[in-house]
C-alpha cells in the first residue's frame, strides 16, 4: 500500500464517519460535547443548545440558526443595552466590493449587521468608514481579521462563500470597490 | 508532477475535512483557561449561542469591553466581583451570581483557551 492510498483510505474513512454524524444530530448535549465535564453536577442544570436553538429560524451552518432571521421574525429580541433602551439604529446602506478576481462581488448589508450590533463594534477599529480604506483579503479574513473577527468564529462560517460573494450579474458594471449602493 | 499535484489536492481535502471530523462543541463556544488552571479551577466554557439569544453583540463587546480574541480580555475573578466583565450581569440581579462557580467553570481539565465549534473553517488567529 502506497502512502497515497493510505491517505485516501483515511480521508474516505473520515468523510464516512463525519457525514452520518453531522446528519444525525444538529446539536450535541453538553455532557457529550467534549468540552463540558460530565462529572460536574452543574452541567446537568445548564441549558442544552437544542432546547434553545431548535425553535429558531433554521440554517445549514454554524449554530444551525439563521440569527438575522430569528430577530426579523420576532423569535428573539436581544437587548441592545444592559440598562434601558438605546436609540434604534437605522443605517441600511449596502456596500459592494468588486475587487474579487473571478469570484462574484461581495455585497455587505449594513442592515443585517446593525440589527445585531452598534456601529462602534466595527467602526473605526475594524473597518474605516472611508471608501477604498480597507485592504481586505481572504487571507486576512481566514486569519481572523476584518470579517473574520466574527465570521468563522461566531457568525456564519467561512464555508458559506456565496452569502458574501453574492453579486454575479452586475460584476462588469459594478461600481468600484467599496462603493455604496443607493437603495431604491 | 501530475502525481504531486494530485497528492497536494488530497492534502488540501484532508485539511478541510479535519475540522469537521474532530469538533463537537457548539459553534462559537469559548474555552477560557488562562488563569483557571493555575488556581486549580476547571476551565470556563462560555456559550455564545446562549448569550446572543438575550443580548446583541455590542452589549458585551463594546459596552462591557470584552475583546474579540479568546483569552485576550484579562478577566479575573476580582474584576468580576467588582462588576466588570461577566460581573456586569452575573451579579444576582440580571443573571445568577458568581457563587455558582461550577456553572461557568464547567470544562474538562486541560482544555486550551480558544474558540470551538463544529462548523467553522478556522477561527480568529489561525487557518
Min Cα distance A123 → chain B (Å) is 11
**What residues of chain A, 54 to 73, have a C-beta less than 8 Å from chain B?**
61-63, 65, 67
Among left, alpha and beta (phi > 0; psi -120 to 50; other), residue B126 is beta
> Binning pLDDT at 50, 70 and 90, where does residue A3 land?
low
Tell me what ipTM this predicted complex has. 0.81
Asked whether the predicted pLDDT for residue B20 surpasses 50, the reply is no
What the block records as the C-alpha cell of B37 is 488552571
Asked whether the predicted pLDDT for residue A164 surpasses 70, the reply is yes
> Binning pLDDT at 50, 70 and 90, where does residue B117 land?
confident
- C-alpha distances in Å from residue A21, one per residue of A13, B22, B118: 12, 11, 11
Give pLDDT, residue A68. 98
Give pLDDT, residue A135. 96
The pLDDT tens digits of the residues spanning A30-52 come to 999 999 999 999 999 999 999 99
The pLDDT tens digits of the residues spanning A80-104 come to 999 877 777 788 999 999 999 999 9
* Inter-chain CB proximity A79 and B55 less than 8 Å: yes
Smallest Cβ–Cβ distance between A121 and the set B53, B57, B94 belongs to: B57
> Binning pLDDT at 50, 70 and 90, where does residue B108 land?
very high
Asked whether the predicted pLDDT for residue A27 surpasses 70, the reply is yes
Give pLDDT, residue A42. 95
Give pLDDT, residue A14. 47
Asked whether the predicted pLDDT for residue A67 surpasses 70, the reply is yes
Give pLDDT, residue B126. 43
| H, E, C per residue of B23-50 | CCCCCCCEEECCCCHHHCCCCEEECHHH
What the block records as the C-alpha cell of A103 is 469570484
Does B83 contact chain A (CB < 8 Å)?
Answer: no
Count Cβ–Cβ pairs < 8 Å, chain A vs chain B.
173
Give pLDDT, residue B21. 45
In this structure, the number of other CB atoms found within 10 A of the CB of residue A56 comes to 20
Assign B123 to helix, strand or coil.
Answer: coil
* Mean pLDDT on A45-60: 96
Percent of chain A with pLDDT over 90: 62
Chain A residues whose CB is inside 8 A of the B83 CB are none
Domain coordinates in residue numbering, chain B: 24-115
Query: Into which CATH architecture does domain B24-115 fall?
Result: Alpha-Beta Complex (3.90)
Torsion of CA B45, A71, B97, A39, to 10 degrees: -30
d(CA A156, CA A167): 18
Closest C-alpha among B23, B123, B26 to residue A26: B26
Pairing of strands A105-109, A94-97: antiparallel
User: Which residue would you say has higher pLDDT here, B84 or A83?
Assistant: B84
Amino acid at each position: 500500500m502506497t502512502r497515497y492510498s493510505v491517505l485516501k483510505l483515511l480521508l474516505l474513512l473520515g468523510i464516512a464517519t463525519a457525514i452520518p454524524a453531522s446528519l444525525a444530530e444538529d446539536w450535541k448535549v453538553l455532557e457529550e460535547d467534549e468540552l463540558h465535564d460530565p462529572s460536574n453536577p452543574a452541567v446537568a442544570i445548564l441549558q442544552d443548545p437544542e432546547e434553545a436553538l431548535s425553535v429558531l429560524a433554521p440554517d445549514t451552518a454554524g449554530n444551525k440558526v439563521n440569527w438575522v432571521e430569528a430577530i426579523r421574525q420576532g423569535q428573539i429580541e436581544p437587548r441592545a443595552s444592559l440598562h434601558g433602551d438605546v436609540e434604534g439604529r437605522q443605517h441600511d446602506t449596502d456596500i459592494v466590493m468588486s475587487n474579487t478576481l473571478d469570484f462574484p462581488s461581495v455585497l455587505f448589508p449594513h442592515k443585517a449587521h446593525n440589527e445585531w450590533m452598534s456601529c462602534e463594534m466595527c467602526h473605526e477599529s475594524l473597518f474605516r468608514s472611508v471608501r477604498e480604506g480597507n485592504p481586505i483579503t481572504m487571507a486576512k479574513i481566514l486569519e481572523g481579521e476584518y470579517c473574520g473577527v466574527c465570521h468563522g468564529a461566531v457568525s456564519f462560517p467561512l464555508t458559506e462563500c456565496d452569502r458574501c460573494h453574492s453579486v454575479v450579474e452586475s460584476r462588469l458594471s459594478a461600481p468600484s470597490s467599496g462603493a455604496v449602493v443607493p437603495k431604491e | 508532477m501530475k502525481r504531486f499535484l494530485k497528492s497536494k489536492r488530497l492534502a488540501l481535502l484532508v485539511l478541510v475535512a479535519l475540522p469537521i471530523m474532530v469538533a463537537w462543541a457548539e459553534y462559537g463556544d469559548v474555552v477560557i483557561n488562562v488563569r483557571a488552571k493555575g488556581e486549580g479551577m476547571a476551565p470556563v466554557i462560555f456559550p455564545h449561542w446562549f448569550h446572543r439569544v438575550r443580548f446583541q453583540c455590542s452589549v458585551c463587546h463594546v459596552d462591557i469591553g470584552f475583546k474579540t480574541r479568546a483569552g485576550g480580555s484579562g478577566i479575573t475573578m476580582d474584576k468580576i466581583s467588582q462588576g466588570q466583565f461577566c460581573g456586569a450581569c452575573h451579579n444576582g440581579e440580571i443573571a445568577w451570581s458568581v457563587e455558582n462557580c461550577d456553572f461557568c467553570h464547567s470544562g474538562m481539565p486541560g482544555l486550551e483557551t480558544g474558540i470551538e465549534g463544529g462548523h467553522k473553517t478556522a477561527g480568529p488567529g489561525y487557518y
